[in-house]
Amino acid sequence: MGELILKSNLNQDWISFAFLSNIFLTYLLTIIDPIRTIRLFNFLKIGFYLSKHNSERETQYFNPYNIIGTLILINTVCLSFIFFSEKIICQKTYFFDFCFLFLLIIILIIVRYYVSLSLIKKNNFGKKIKPLIFKNFTLNLQFAYAYFLIILIGFYSKVPSFLFYFIVSIISISWFLSKSRIFFSLFKFQPKEVVYFILYLCTFKLIPWYYLYLFVLAPRF
């Protein structure tokens, strides 16, 4: 019995560490750029945030701030997987599962980055598309914090199921509508550019996540 309790506590410890990692990474963001971080959490003024932080340096993919933001996004996706597995379908997850998924998403992002970069350079619409990519990244990071908060509350407290699913639905719908606005703004481009970006969207954004679901989540049902 004591051994089972120890294993349960160890499993809970690494999950707590995963949650604390996001808090620590957010602390790093405040060290790198405290003003930008404060503005990031002002969900109602995203236009102001984008207008103030759209410089060439701040929109660079390998900017330290953006790298840490990406790690927060990845960690939140992994935490969502843990929550879904343990609380929704009641299957135990282990530290190996978390690390495997984290590494898999990093590889996916790196491959997608270099392939999409070559596509953008080849068709010479990098300057037009970069602000949209930065806006997309910012929205994802903001909504990642919203998901992180609700998952944290759902994991460590007894929230009524109806209330939890209602809040998740509101966040998901808001995220979808925000992403749709970015997508529809593509129609300001030339038809050829729109076709190439839709190809990018389907091939390098949707399909990889589909395969991630197919090989990681689907086997758990």
What is the arithmetic mean of pLDDT over 78-101?
A: 84
Q: SS3 for 41? A: coil
Where along the chain do its domains lie? 2-220
138 or 87, which is more confident:
138
Side-chain-side CA neighbours of residue 97 (13 Å) = 21
- State whether residue 164 is helix, strand or coil: helix
For position 2, what pLDDT does the model report?
Answer: 42
The per-residue b/e assignment along 136-170, b for 16 or more CB within 10 angstroms, e otherwise, is: bbbbbbbbbbbbbebbeebbeeeeeeeebeebbee
Which residues, including other chains, have CB under 8 Å from residue 11's CB and lie 6 or more apart?
A: 92, 94, 95
Helix, strand, coil % in the chain, rounded to nearest 5 = 85, 0, 15
Closest CA to 83 of 218, 217, 219: 217
For the stretch 110-158, pLDDT in tens is 887 777 777 666 666 656 677 777 888 889 999 999 999 999 988 888 8
Listed residue (136, 149, 73) closest to 105, CA to CA: 73
Q: What is the mean pLDDT of residues 202-216?
A: 65
pLDDT at 217: 63
Quick check: pTM over 0.85? no
How far apart CA 38 and CA 48 sit, in angstroms, is: 12
Residues with Cβ within 8 Å of 193's Cβ and at least 6 positions away in sequence, in order, are 123, 125, 128, 186
Mean residue pLDDT across the chain: 78
In the chain the beta strands, taken as DSSP E runs, fall at none
In the chain, pLDDT over 90 holds for what percent of residues?
22
Q: What's the CA gap between 90 and 80, in Å, rounded?
A: 14
pLDDT, tens only, 155-193: 888 878 788 888 888 988 888 888 777 776 666 655 555
